[in-house]
Structure 1
Amino acid sequence: MGGKNTKNAAKPELTESEIHFLMDNTQYDRNAIIQWYNDFLRDCPDGKLDKKEFEKVYAQLYPKGNPSKFSSFVFEVFDADNNKYISFSEFLLAISALSDGDVTKRLRLTFQIYDVNNNNQIDIKEMTKVIEALYDLKSVPKDQRKGENSAASRAQAIFLKLDLDGSKGLNADEFINGCVNDNYLLSLLLPEGN
């Protein structure tokens, strides 16, 4: 992560109740949680990961791409309490969900990331924005984003395949079931692939 310098800032404490909560809600044991916490504090001594620092994390994960758009979508989901920063607990819960071997759980979180306006549906505009952000993130060259590979065309094709009720919006079940049954969509729409 970026590593902020903050003088005289009190080091936030990881309470026993937080440890138990994280043990119950992630796949990590006590030692792993403490290690994650120490690493988090090394990079965020005040215990707060803001949007700018979060984008730096994504830049390290995707050094050839432009993570700004996609990391912004992800940040909004990770910041569960909407206080403009990600706490350690929010961070570890999200990391756990994204790294979980259960594709359905990962797709549920991915659905939340793609539901930019938080109305429990993904519309064609949201899907187009996310595909554009994924193209930027994965450094897809501009000349490969034309015609049927344009973000708008890809979004339209996805909707034709997944919008089973014709509502012009994908609910979580349509999105998850459609992706689980289509390896191409799974690899396209899950940020880290499957």
Structure 2
Amino acid sequence: MREKFAELFPHGDIEHYSDLLFETFDNDGNGTINFQEFVKALSILCRGTMDEKLDWLYKLYDPKEKGEITWDRLFYVITSMDDLMGRHAKPHHTREQKCERANQVYAKFDIGKKGKITKQDFFKVCKTDRTILNSISALYTLLPG
């Protein structure tokens, strides 16, 4: 998986983001992605219902299925995506800017200010935010189908 990301993002640090995706694809947690796991993930992303796609996406943020997304995990995902784009990406975000972005996103998803993002809150925000819905709907056109 890392080799493919390195081809797609030659100037980026692909290590952390590819690890995130690997964890999400590896349904049984055995450290490998078999053909069935790979096809299942692509099927969900390309042709799944909105709830199936959101469930898959939530697992990216909660891979151990603890039922909550922590600020640290959210920051890690944001940082991993920035790293993927590379140091030459414009604009280049500082650590402080990434922290502020994580704070903004966390505040948006932490309904009721409980100090955690539950799966229910994640689904609720995603299903009511037009930008998020459009991004998820675009997966069908971005991935081979």
Corresponding residue number in structure 1 for 2:81: 134
Q: Determine which structure has the larger helix proportion and give its number.
A: 2
Corresponding residue number in structure 1 for 2:51: 104
1:114 CA displacement: 1.1
Contact 2:68-2:116 within 8 A present in 1 as well: yes
Corresponding residue number in structure 2 for 1:145: 93
Q: Distance in 2 between matches of 1:97 and 1:59?
A: 24
Are 1:73 and 2:73 an aligned pair? no
Q: 2:119 aligns with which of 162, 167, 172?
A: 172
Q: How many residues end up aligned between the 2 structures? A: 138
Q: Distance in 1 between matches of 2:99 and 2:139?
A: 21
Taking every aligned residue pair, what percent have the same amino acid on both sides?
Answer: 27
CA RMSD in angstroms comes to 2.8
Normalising by structure 1, we get a TM-score of 0.60
Per-residue Cα deviation, 1:119-177 (whole angstroms, up to 9, x for no partner): 121011100000001112233638631387x2211111112112112221111121122
Letter in 2 for 1:145: H
Distance 1:146 1:101, change over 3 A: same
Q: Distance in 1 between matches of 2:53 and 2:93?
A: 26
1:96 CA displacement: 1.2
Q: What SS does the aligned partner of 1:86 have?
A: coil
Question: Gaps (5+ residues) in structure 2?
Answer: 141-145
Matches within 5 A, 1:1-194: 54-100=1-47, 102-139=49-86, 141=89, 144-146=92-94, 150-185=97-132
Normalising by structure 2, we get a TM-score of 0.77
Q: Distance in 2 between matches of 1:65 and 1:118?
A: 28
Question: Gaps (5+ residues) in structure 1?
Answer: 1-53
Distance 1:107 1:139, change over 3 A: farther
Letter in 2 for 1:78: F
Letter in 1 for 2:6: A
Bigger Rg, which one: 1
Higher relative contact order (CA 8 A, sep 6+): 2
